[in-house]
Amino acid sequence: MNAATALTPVPVPSKTFAAYGLLGLPLAFVALPVYVHLPNFYAQQYGVPLAALGVVLLLSRSIDAVVDPWLGRWGDRLYRHSWRAVWLAALLLALAVALGFAALFFPPAAAMSAAGLLVWVGCALTLSHLAYSGLGILHQAWAARQGGGGITQSRWVAWREGFALMGVLLASALPALWGWALTTALLVFMLAFGLFSWQRVARSDVASDVAVVSGHEVGGLWQPWKHVGFRRLLMVFMLNGLASAVPATLVLFFVQDLLQAPKSMEPLFLGLYFAAGALSFPLWLKVIDRIGLLRTWATGMALSVLAFVSVVTLGAGDTTGFLLVCALSGMALGADLTVPGALLNQLIDRCGERGRTDGAFMGWWNLATKLNLALAAGLSLPLLSLWGYVPGQQDADAVLALSLAYGLLPCVLKLLAGVALYAALMRQPELISGPARVQPSA
């Protein structure tokens, strides 16, 4: 099959999109929710120092992030070999995801010293992240290879990301409601269900293969960096992503020690944030249709600043005010999940790289996404410790430090991202949205 045939739209029923996307739900368990729960879990349950824990999280996520481009090339080799090779790799990676997740929240008695726990967390987290990355890249690559044009591709991605957001909601709320044993059991079940659901789609009549484009540049790791539009987009994406990851890392500390809210309200705060993000998708799609991708992203950044700047006015018991913060910041999250990925796809077409080195673009993009979470933990937790905050403290100085780190720091980062968006992309939109360039065939 040639590239033109691969991009011809093929009608696919909605149940097929859903069956493919289902695996996104359990994979989401080891993404953002781990960063929401893990620091609080080890600090409160085992007294692990925040600064040391932040360094471990940073190192683990950094190791995982830097191998993503190579995982993309490995995935390409598996697909060139056979679906059976892909399927076997997916099964092994899913098993590693489950084992790593269980190890994180059920450390052995032999690792109960502070140093032992830090080593255990580092190893279990790195295993979880590497397996999650490998399986996620295989899953994403399969959809990209189906072709079908922009509309069909958007449906593959939308179903996958929709299930992923459901996974984030479940993984954020269930530990407080069910405990870690049942949450881990659900992860294992959904991994198995999602894998076999995906296999049925991959072996069905609607699945297609895309011929490998020959040539030196195919799969080149560094090809994306040759395009100035990609470099600029990635810079804005990282600044904006860091601004979103900092409050995600600190939210439970904020709720417990500044708001002093009942533990039963924690799932409500987290659930409202992610639910607002999910429900805002139709709104943001309408905004995009009216004012375009770049202006929509800027609008989302402004909404986020509006939400978090009000955090400094909150005090103990202000749960209603914080619910409003969660709703507004969740709506801003909807723009963050919708716009950057669409801009990246638009950029790949603009550069003429669709079907050639798009896997390399995705690998570097995934690296940046993970590095944001690592930087958020690695910077905000030691900063809080430097300012004198210790989990469980509720004196005036500790509360002020928490308020500044949770509310004001994200505002500063979002404003920097907005300035970068205007200077790097809005003043030269042709860098990412001009006429597509056609690469010569090898």
Domains of the chain: 13-212 (1.20.1250.20), 217-436 (1.20.1250.20)
More confidently predicted of 90 and 173: 90
- Checking if the pLDDT of 27 tops 70, the result is yes
From 251, 243, 270, select the one nearest 376 (Cα to Cα): 243
Tell me: pLDDT of 211 over 50: no
Q: Which range (189-198, 246-255, 296-305, 429-438) has the least confidence?
A: 429-438
pLDDT, position 151 = 52
Provide the pLDDT for residue 109.
Answer: 73
Give just the sign of the alpha carbon dihedral 356, 360, 361, 363: positive
Classified as helix, coil or strand, 31 is coil
pLDDT above 70 coverage of the chain, percent: 85
Distance CA 293, CA 287 (A): 8
Per the structure block, which two tokens stand in for 260? 């002093």
Q: What is the mean pLDDT of the chain?
A: 81
Residue 214, pLDDT above cutoff 60: no
Structure tokens at 63: 């190791």
- Angle of helix 149-178 relative to helix 319-350, nearest 10 degrees, comes to 150
Of the given ranges (150-159, 242-251, 411-420, 424-433), which has the lowest mean pLDDT? 150-159
pLDDT exceeds 60 at position 147: no
346-378 b/e with 16+ CB inside 10 Å = b? bbbbbbebbbbbbbbbbbbbbbbbbbbbbbbbb
Tell me what the mean pLDDT of segment 133-143 comes to: 85
pLDDT classification of 360: cutoffs 50, 70, 90: confident
Check if the beta carbon of residue 50 is closer than 8 Å to that of residue 385. Answer: yes
CA-CA distance, 184 to 98, in Å (whole number)? Answer: 8
With cut-offs at 50, 70 and 90, classify the pLDDT of residue 186: very high
DSSP string across 170-191: HHHHHHHHH-HHHHHHHHHHHH
User: CB 222: neighbour CB atoms within 10 A?
Assistant: 11
Arithmetic mean of pLDDT, 414-431: 92
Output 396 or 235, whichever has higher pLDDT. 235
Rounded CA gap, 430 and 435, in Å?
Answer: 8
Task: State the average pLDDT over residues 406-415.
Answer: 91
In which band, very low, low, confident or very high, does the pLDDT at 25 lie, cut at 50, 70 and 90?
Answer: very high
CA–CA separation, 352 and 346 (whole Å): 10
- Do 372 and 417 form a contact (C-beta atoms < 8 A)? no
Structure tokens, 442 = 């090898």
Three-class secondary structure of residue 257 per DSSP: helix
The answer, yes or no, to whether residue 262 has pLDDT greater than 80, is: yes
- 86-102, pLDDT tens digit by residue? 899 999 999 999 999 99
- Confidence (pLDDT) at 150: 45
Sign of CA pseudo-dihedral 307, 303, 338, 438 = negative
Concatenating the DSSP letter of every residue in 340-380 gives HHHHHHHHHHHTT-TTTTHHHHHHHHHHHHHHHHHHHHHHH
pLDDT of residue 434: 61
Q: How confident is the model at residue 216 (pLDDT cuts 50, 70, 90)?
A: very low
pLDDT in tens, 300-335: 999 999 999 988 888 888 889 999 999 999 999 888
- Average the pLDDT over 326-349 and give the result: 83
> Is the predicted pLDDT of residue 143 greater than 80, yes or no?
no
Which of the four pLDDT bands, split at 50, 70 and 90, describes residue 4? Answer: very low
Most confident among 85-99, 202-216, 256-270, 399-413 (mean pLDDT): 85-99
Q: Is the pLDDT of residue 145 over 90?
A: no
User: Average pLDDT, stretch 344-355?
Assistant: 72
173 has pLDDT over 60:
yes
Mean pLDDT of 10-34: 83
Average pLDDT over residues 53-57: 82
Q: Can you give the pLDDT at residue 190?
A: 96
Specify the pTM.
Answer: 0.74
Count of alpha carbons within 13 Å of 139, Cβ hemisphere only?
Answer: 33
CA atoms of 126 and 68, how far apart (whole Å):
13
User: What band does 209 get if pLDDT is binned at 50, 70 and 90?
Assistant: low
Q: Is the pLDDT of residue 407 over 80?
A: yes
Placement of tokens 């010569």 in the chain: 440
